[in-house]
Amino acid sequence: MNNSLEQERAKFALEKIKDWGEKGSEEYYRYIAQLPVMIRNNGLGQSLVFLLAKKKAPCKEIYDAINEWLVNKRKVCKNVGNDNKISLIELLINGDRVQYSHAQQETLAFFNWLKMFADAFLKRENE
């Protein structure tokens, strides 16, 4: 049975939310909610560099999820070398505009599912 792209996004997002739900849910929720706005305002490349600069969870794990989705699952960004973090960013800033736009749109579509599952499953202070 072949799953649709939306089903694949949902499945991967749910896996990540389940993993992160066992950790500091509040922080993960905050970054998941804020990152799509950051991507729309600043672009995917700058947003990824922001996540990498933080170096710790949840930013590192959210970056790793985006990297895994774009490179391994969707194969939007190809030819990634040994250092996936640097290579993904290099591909985005040195690649063509079509690839960059595709990667950005795919990331935003993935975050739609992350946000829905975060709303449903991650604990927040005001609950």
Tell me, what's the pLDDT at 82? 54
Instruction: List CB contacts of 86: < 8 A, sequence separation 6 or more.
Output: none
Tell me, what's the pLDDT at 26? 87
Task: Assess whether pLDDT exceeds 90 at residue 1.
Answer: no
Q: Judging by beta carbons within 10 Å of its beta carbon (0-12, 13-18, 19+), is residue 21 exposed, middle or buried?
A: middle
Q: What is the mean pLDDT of residues 17-35?
A: 89
Please name each of the domains of the chain with its CATH number. Answer: 24-120 (1.10.520.30)
- Percent of the chain's residues with pLDDT above 70: 88
Tell me, what's the pLDDT at 83? 53
Task: Assess whether pLDDT exceeds 90 at residue 21.
Answer: no
Kindly report whether the global pTM for this prediction surpasses the value 0.75: yes
Q: What is the pLDDT of residues 44-72, one digit of tens each?
A: 999 999 999 998 989 999 999 999 999 88
127, two tokens? 């609950």
Task: Assess whether pLDDT exceeds 60 at residue 111.
Answer: yes
